[in-house]
Amino acid sequence: MADLTAAIRAMARNGIRLRFGGQPDTGVGASRFGGVPDVPAEFVWPVFETATYDDDDVRPRPLAFLAQFNCACLAPLDTDGLLPKEGVLSFFYELGSQRWGFDPADRGCARVFWFPETDALSPASPPEDLPAEYCLPAMGMALAAEASYPGAEDFYAGREDEIGDWEPYWEARAMLGIEDPDNRSCLLGWPDLIQGSFFRECELTDRGLYLGGLCPDLSPEEAQAERDAVQNWQLLFQLDTVEADGFQLMFGDCGRVYFCIRKEDLAARRFDRAWLILQCG
């Protein structure tokens, strides 16, 4: 058990815990959930061509604005120095279809923007065809750094020969005092998994493979990329059910959405290459 707890400690990543509610900071570039994004003058509101659960018509639909984060305020909490130290990170998702991310055709259902110059931003006006229920109410947020640890599937990824009874792993987590809350939204760190490890899904779907059925035959290069996915991909933003002040936003049945990005793309600030996964019970 001592070796197992040491191995878990060694895989710790820094994360930033998010709690939503209360009055938002309305200053330009301030971190907040919902409301309207602060964007540069040339910003074009993202759309995604899709039907929805309520409308079979396939047409371009505006993405909903989820949240924005002031990078300068995040910097003291981002102890691993992964995020930009200036500007604003903004997250969007098409809520009418709530795509899952296992289909290459899902590309564009979610978008991440980094606006480096906060002084050049101003509040955007949502498109007229964005349904009112997808114009999310503005809320404040509390942020705190916390240690984050992998779930069992991510812990054993790449060493499947060690997988047996997972009970010792969860016992070791409990010994370390690692909590597993029912609801957690965060930036960075490890994802809280609902339906198993999904970094391989990010890797293969991003390569154009459809994963909504039987696992496709993989080339040697694809198989190696799948094995390396847990080491090569990084959680960027995990958004759980948001419930505050009489408002609720839920993904599927008590699910979560996860914005993920390759570490090399994060380092190069290629946020347009982020990929979204939805999981629910």
Angle between helices 167-175 and 2-10 (to 10 degrees): 70
Identify whether the C-beta of residue 249 lies closer than 8 Å to the C-beta of residue 257: no
Closest CA to 93 of 51, 30, 46: 46
Identify whether the C-beta of residue 83 lies closer than 8 Å to the C-beta of residue 64: no
Q: What is the pLDDT of residues 214-235, one digit of tens each?
A: 778 899 999 899 889 999 999 9
**3-class DSSP state for residue 112?**
strand
Listed as ranges, residues in the chain with pLDDT below 50 are none
| pLDDT attached to residue 20 | 95
Please give the Cα distance from 189 to 80 (Å, whole number).
10
Two tokens, residue 259: 């914005």
Closest CA to 23 of 140, 136, 141: 140
User: How far, in whole angstroms, is CA 149 from its chain's centroid?
Assistant: 16
Please give the Cα distance from 95 to 49 (Å, whole number).
12
Q: What is the pLDDT of residues 81-92, one digit of tens each?
A: 999 999 999 999
Identify whether the C-beta of residue 230 lies closer than 8 Å to the C-beta of residue 176: no
pTM score? 0.95
CA 103, 108, 110, 112 torsion: positive or negative? positive
Identify whether the C-beta of residue 4 lies closer than 8 Å to the C-beta of residue 168: yes
| Sequence spans of domains, the chain | 2-51+58-279
Please give the Cα distance from 185 to 242 (Å, whole number).
9
Closest CA to 12 of 123, 176, 186: 176
Q: What is the CATH number of domain 2-51+58-279?
A: 2.30.320.10
Residues 6+ apart with CB under 8 A from 27: none
| pLDDT attached to residue 159 | 64
CB burial readout 129-146, b (16+ within 10 A) else e: ebeeebbbebbbbebebe
